[in-house]
Amino acid sequence: MIQIPFENRYVALGEQFYVKTRPTPVAEPAMIRFNDDLAASLGISPIPLSPDTGAAVFSGNVVPEGAEPLAMAYSGHQFGHFNPYLGDGRAILLGEVQGPGGDYFDVHLKGSGRTAFSRNGDGRAALGPVLREYLVSEAMEKLGVPTTRALAAVTTGEEVARDRYLPGAVITRVARSFVRVGTFQYFSARDDVESVKKLADHVIQRNYPEVADAENPYMELLKAVADKQASLIAQWMQLGFIHGVMNTDNMSIAGETIDYGPCAFMDDYDHKRVFSSIDQGGRYAYNNQPGIGLWNLTRLAESLVPLLADDGKAAVEIAQEVLKPYVASYQNAWLTGMREKCGLSENVDTAVSEEDKPLIEDLLNRMADNSADFTLTFHYLSQLDAQSSARDDEIRRLFDNPQEFDDWVAAWRQRLNFEPQSDAERQAQMNAVNPVYIPRNHQIEAAIRAAEDHNDFSVFHELHEVLQNPFVEQEGKDRYKLPPEPEEVVSQTFCGT
């Protein structure tokens, strides 16, 4: 029997928070990939896993001793409309484990069968979205972005009915918390202030212990969550990442990227890019993400109002005050990161550094006008010399009209005159923040096609391998750098249902 030292503090919160649910066994579980490194970092390795036991546990066929599996209750604003009754419709929290560093992590199966929250859904996940989540979440980790992790992916040997029959799969995800903004909304919508408080206390103890002794811990909690969110979304923007479904039930209280559905990284840059087939209005388009972050945080603040002060009016004022710095905090995080991407340091004359934002925005506008690839532009920019255009060819070719790049790069080189570093130093710093490889949509699609159509997982494994080291140029892996050929372009991604 596999031993995972689970604790189950969520169970202790009370029955209003979940419905105890066992996974529904599947026909023929087979391991696609097990994340040994992650398991080791959680202190659950080496797991004495034969392929069979591993697949049995991470498909939900065998529930490890000590686990008290449950489906969490939550609400959520979906595309702006409030749904009071969502919850884990196809996911199950197995329990939490304490890593060697002392931090706690939740272990969660997704695709593990119907729950009390399934509504008309089958409780299952298709193989494609499971592979996408595995690849993108692990790539995000290696890119340095806070994210849920993928511990295991298993095929079920069963089919799931979508617009056609597809192979089924289960993914095991690990997070610092699966509590969402929508979890707070669930109790707030029911006027259950006592449970809002219990949940806030749980989150503080678990994820924000530093605010526990503050004069107003709930105010500090809101502030900390807002800060984390601002910096997370700035990181998404700096990598050209589009989450796709930033509903309040898909925003983690721990500030991690969560619920990878129809997400994607941009190839050619477009401020308004949308991939998700269900996002017809472009609510969650690339450029809207920072604003939606604030919208979602405002929903969290509303749920916390009864805890912020006894007097309702005073509480609302506190909530407003706390969220006021979000915009500046996001803009700071964005500018700091974009400066690093462009090799510009802040310790120059203010008159010079004040021009950085317009300079960076000018580059982005020119990239948009010229369909320049987002990732490659910054990757090639990282190789340029300050005084010479000898290495400009590759980056120029990304622009429909290379002259538009030439005009910009002349201004950039002027700006570099104020930088003290050598070319080599600046290039090293830029290469450390500008990835060579991102999980490009057409490559994810190729991995899914091979797995789904030919039961061939080698494409998935090779792509995963390349993405383990996104900042280092790897020999023989040039094709993973490249944007799609016109016939390979994936213009839409589908919700992970």
Which residues of this chain interact with ligand AMP, rule CB under 6 A?
Answer: 86-90, 117-118, 121-124, 245, 250, 259, 261, 495-497
- Minimum CB separation of residue 57 from ligand AMP in Å reads 21
Residue closest to ligand AMP (Cβ): 121
Contacts with Mg ion, residue ranges (CB under 5 A): 250, 259
118, interface contact from Mg ion, ligand AMP, none, CB < 5-8 Å by kind: ligand AMP
Q: Which two tokens stand for residue 270?
A: 């477009």
Q: Which is nearer to ligand AMP, 220 or 256 (CB)?
A: 256
The site partner of 293 among Mg ion, ligand AMP, none (C-beta below 5 to 8 Å per kind) is: none
Q: How far is the CB of 77 from Mg ion (least distance, A)?
A: 12
Answer with the entry of Mg ion, ligand AMP, none that 495 interacts with (C-beta below 5 to 8 A by kind): ligand AMP
User: 249, 267, 279, 392: which one is catalytic?
Assistant: 249
d(CA 472, CA 242): 23
d(CA 417, CA 181) in angstroms, rounded, equals 46
Indicate which of ligand AMP, Mg ion, none lies near residue 123 (CB less than 5 to 8 Å, by partner kind): ligand AMP
CB of 120 to ligand AMP, least distance (A): 8
Taken in order 326, 143, 362, 383, the sign of the CA dihedral is positive
**Cα–Cα separations (whole angstroms), residue 127 to 123, 152, 263, 364:** 13, 13, 16, 36
Residue whose token pair is 């929250």? 117
Q: Partners of 104 in the beta sheet?
A: 98
Q: Is 249 a catalytic residue?
A: yes
Rounded CA gap, 228 and 212, in Å? 17
Q: Select 284 or 437, whichever has its Cβ closest to ligand AMP.
A: 284
Residue keyed to tokens 């597809």: 166
- Please state the closest distance from residue 245 (CB atom) to ligand AMP, in A: 6
Q: Please, which residue, 250 or 296, has the CB nearer to ligand AMP?
A: 250
Decide which of Mg ion, ligand AMP, none touches 86; Cβ closer than 5 to 8 Å per partner kind.
ligand AMP
Name the helix (H) or strand (E) containing 340: helix 326-342
State the Rg of the chain over Cα: 23
Strand, helix or coil for residue 369: helix
User: Which one of Mg ion, ligand AMP, none interacts with residue 124, CB within 5 to 8 A by kind?
Assistant: ligand AMP
Looking at the Cβ atoms of 248 and 434, the one nearer to ligand AMP is 248
Chain-centre distance for alpha carbon 171: 15
Nearest-CB residue for Mg ion: 259
How many angstroms separate the CA atoms of 180 and 200, rounded?
11
Contacted entry of ligand AMP, Mg ion, none for residue 227, CB cut-off 5 to 8 Å set by kind: none
With respect to ligand AMP, which residue has the nearer C-beta, 92 or 211? 92
Rounded least distance, CB 259 to Mg ion, Å: 4
- The residues that bridge with 168 in the sheet, in sequence order, are 126
Among residues 417, 405, 406, 404, the alpha carbon closest in space to that of 355 is found at 417
Contact 214, 220 (CB under 8 A): yes
Distance CA 296, CA 255 (A): 12
What are 67's two structure tokens? 């686990």
Among residues 445, 437, 440, the alpha carbon closest in space to that of 476 is found at 437
Least distance (Å) between residue 79 CB and ligand AMP: 11
**Closest distance between Mg ion and the C-beta of residue 285, in Å?**
19
Q: Closer to Mg ion at the Cβ: 173 or 366?
A: 173
Q: How many residues make up the chain in this entry? A: 497
Please, which residues have CB within 8 angstroms of residue 239's CB and are 6 or more apart in sequence?
143, 145, 265, 375, 435, 438
Identify the helix (H) or strand (E) that includes residue 65: none
Query: CB within 8 A of 439, min separation 6: which ones?
Result: 135, 136, 139, 265, 463, 467
Q: Reduced to 3 states, what is the DSSP secondary structure of residue 67? A: coil
Q: Which is nearer to ligand AMP, 247 or 370 (CB)?
A: 247
Nearer to ligand AMP, 167 or 496 (CB): 496
192 contact, one of ligand AMP, Mg ion, none, CB 5-8 Å limit per kind: none
Spatial distance between the Cα atoms of 354 and 357, rounded to a whole number of angstroms: 7
Q: How far is the CB of 483 from ligand AMP (least distance, A)?
A: 28
Catalytically active residues, by annotation:
249
